[in-house]
Chains A and B, each alone.
Chain A
Amino acid sequence: MTPDTFPSLFWSYTAVWLILGVYILSLGIRLRKLEDTIAKSSKGCCDTDHKND
């Protein structure tokens, strides 16, 4: 008779998606923050350039 090993499968897939999810989320947050900072700084540069003109 085939044993009931479904709980192991469940925990294994939970672990896989938890590891991947946390890593993808952390990468996404870092990328978004960086892009925002760079966009803000280049906008600030443009504003000061215009003021100087």
Chain B
Amino acid sequence: MPKSTRSLHPLLALLTLCAVGLAQWLVLMVVPNERVMGAVQRIFYFHVGSAFACYASFGVVFFASIYYLATRNPKSDLLSLAAGEVGFAFCTIVLVTGMIWGHSAWNTWFRWEEPRLVTFLVLWLIFLSFTILRNFGDPAKTATHGAVLGILGAASVPLVVFSIKLLPQSARLHPEVIEHGGLKDPSYWWAFGLSSFALMLLAGLLVWVRYRVGYLEESWRNKQGEESCDDT
């Protein structure tokens, strides 16, 4: 790996740490309590920010997988693997925080009639299988199979985003906070913007670290292969 890319790592880590710390301070100490839901509304900042980070990671999976299928470039396969794994971690965060919020605000952990919840669960299951396939599948085939599964999974993201329109507003539980201008206090917007930025930055850093792990593993495997060839 080039030295210039390696030196970027501590700087990006420091920037991410500052952004996440500042976002935490804003969310927990500055933003006022929401009138109806109380303290639990503060989950919103991490829930939506994690959703943005997860969708962005799956976007990377989509383009890297298409590029891999077209060119068979191993670097794009590594990028797809890294972004898929990180995206899955953020997807899990969205699912868990959403369920806790739902239990507190709607008195139910999950509602099968809600298209947003069901489509998101399907997205989570697709990327769960992607992660299992990439880590435990047949090494000769996982790159191609993973790329196809990654494209399918990432292509379902618009369905998750727009699924909320499938039910009339009176029948939905999941809110559309931003679309309906729900954040009145300016500090809400600061906390929301900074949390989303910090989580996207964290996702970017994790993708970079996971890519590096994959790159080193690949180089090590190739080196071992070359050495065993030399021995024979």
Which chain A residues have a beta carbon within 8 Å of chain B's beta carbons?
2-6, 8-9, 11-13, 15-16, 19-20, 23-24, 27-28, 30-31, 34-35, 37-38, 41
- B97 contacts A31, CB within 8 Å? no
Bound CA span A9–B37, Å = 11
User: In the complex the two chains form, is A5's CB within 8 Å of B39's CB?
Assistant: yes
Complex partner residue of A9 from B39, B202, B217, B219, CB under 8 angstroms: B39
Q: What size tier do the contact residues of chain B reach?
A: 20 to 34
Q: How long is the Cα–Cα vector from A9 to B216 in the complex, in angstroms? A: 39
Q: Any chain A CB within 8 A of the CB of B134? A: no
Q: A12-B97, A16-B50, A28-B209 are in contact. List 17 more A-B contacts (CB 8 A).
A: A2-B33, A2-B34, A2-B36, A3-B37, A5-B38, A5-B40, A5-B105, A8-B43, A8-B103, A9-B40, A12-B43, A13-B43, A13-B46, A23-B89, A27-B209, A34-B213, A38-B216
The majority secondary structure among interface residues of chain B is helix
Main secondary structure of the interface of A (DSSP, over half): helix
A38 near B220 (CB under 8 angstroms)?
yes
Residues of chain A lying within 8 A (CB to CB) of residue B41? 5
Which residues of A lie under 8 Å from residue B46 when comparing CB positions? 12-13, 16
A5 touches B104 (CB 8 A): yes
- Residues of A within 8 Å of B38, CB to CB, are 2-6
The chain B residue with its CB closest to the CB of A6 is: B39
Return 29 A-B CB contacts under 8 Å, by A number: A2-B33, A2-B35, A2-B36, A2-B37, A2-B38, A4-B39, A5-B37, A6-B38, A6-B39, A8-B39, A8-B40, A8-B43, A8-B104, A9-B39, A9-B40, A11-B100, A12-B40, A15-B96, A16-B93, A19-B89, A19-B92, A20-B89, A20-B93, A27-B206, A27-B213, A31-B209, A31-B216, A34-B220, A37-B220
